[in-house]
Amino acid sequence: MSSTPEQAAAPLPEEVKPPAWLEVLRRFVQGDLASLRVFVVLAVIWAIFQIENSHFLTAQNLTNLFLQITAVGLISVGVVYVLLLGEIDLSVGAVSGLAAAIMAVLNVKHGWSPYTAIAAGVVAGLVIGLVQGFFFTQFGIPSFVVTLAGLLVWQGALLKVLGSTGTVNVTDGKITGLANHFYSDTIGWIVAAIVIAIYAGGTLLAWRRRVTAGLADQQLAGPIIRIVLAAAAAIAAIAVVNNDRGLPLAVLILLAFVGGMEYVATRTRFGRHVFAVGGNAEAARRAGIRINAMRITVFGIAGTMAAIGGILAASRLLAVNQNSGGSDLLLLAIAGPVIAGTSLFGGRGSVWTALLGALVIGSISNGMDLLALESSVKFMVTGGVLLAAVIIDALARRQRQAAGRV
């Protein structure tokens, strides 16, 4: 049956848009609002521990919490890059301990300056990461097998480097100051203002570029809300640490690496290639990306960040021993980013999840320490949280696939 000219000219009915709250819920379920999910979880965790122990939210304990997460957070920065490839590195804990041992032995037993000793430890982590990446790419061995073997090898190397003493006490002020130096209140507020200005400028610039490219609407509400929340978080954090000993240098180091590596991941060609390889390695190869070189480089980054994290841990504990890099450090370094939203399947995540995840994991550990819970309980709770995060990640991925998205 043919249509009349009036019917043919009639405009098509507009697509009915779902309510705003339903769209937010959909994005939350599909994992697009992972950071929001983390903040909700973190608020619940802090509320529970504050109810159980009124000391939890004091300035002194929160400052200690920030210091406790620096080593794990730094290691997690490298882990995020490996996860973005869809791979895993089980050696980061052992590498962190070995790098710290190299630094301590060279400084204490061989008289090296603190700067050259630290550089040697970092270079050792870089070389280890590159070697593991080489074996992974050149021989087609699964990354978890290569790094599991590395875990055993580097643990043995740690014992060899430490020698018969088993423990090396770190006393050089330049090394111990990395985790034990605090800045004045004035410096803290200046740093907060700089961080807020950089974040606001970066957010608005990214929004303007997206609008120019036609990838975002012209409403400023979203960027403004993010800037306000970030500013509130920065101001609250500085107010807390200023009520205790001041702004820790270790926290500045962590924020600098997180912010810098996030910039690399999201604003550089290298970062885009990492996401491309993790999302679809074959498509990336056909697009001309040298996937083997990318993988080796990423494992080098993981080894370097593990070394830096290990050195910060030695600085805070004032010693390196046979247990350095062991215990639950590996679990925490991997669990943190996964809990905060970086996918185990590759191609999806953010370097900020290293910081947010370390904060969640650190809060759980710190709170359970305040409640004097047994180590067995701490391990079971942390493992349960990790399992829950992986299940949520898998469900979010399934939802995205059902909606026709990667």
pLDDT digits (tens, 9 = 90+) for 210-258: 888 777 666 777 788 888 888 998 999 999 999 999 999 999 999 999 9
Amino acid, single-letter form, for residue 118:
I
Q: How deeply is 19 buried, as exposed, middle or buried, from its count of CB atoms within 10 A (0-12, 13-18, 19+)?
A: exposed
Q: How far apart are CA 258 and CA 60, in angstroms?
A: 24
**CA triplet 277, 353, 259: central angle to 5 degrees?**
85
Q: What is the pLDDT of residue 398?
A: 75
Give the pLDDT of residue 305: 97
pLDDT of residue 74: 96
Rounded Cα distance between 354 and 47, Å, is 22
**In this structure, which CATH number among 3.30.420, 1.10.1660, 1.10.3470, 1.20.120 belongs to the domain 55-181+248-398?**
1.10.3470
Distance CA 108, CA 121 (A): 13
On whether the CB atoms of residues 101 and 110 are closer than 8 A, the answer is no
Residue 221, SS3 per DSSP: helix
The pLDDT score that the predictor gives to residue 207 is: 84
What's the pTM value of the predicted model, to 2 decimals?
Answer: 0.87
395, 37 Cβ separation under 8 angstroms: no
pLDDT at 376: 82
**pLDDT averages per 10-residue partition of the chain, 406 residues:** 50 49 47 67 90 92 93 95 94 95 95 96 97 94 93 94 89 93 94 92 85 71 83 92 94 94 92 92 91 95 96 94 87 87 84 91 90 84 79 72 61
C-alpha–C-alpha distance, residues 158 and 173, integer Å: 23
What integer pLDDT is reported at residue 31 of this predicted model? 46
Burial bucket for residue 143 (CB in 10 Å: 0-12, 13-18, 19+): buried
* 205 token code pair: 């610039």
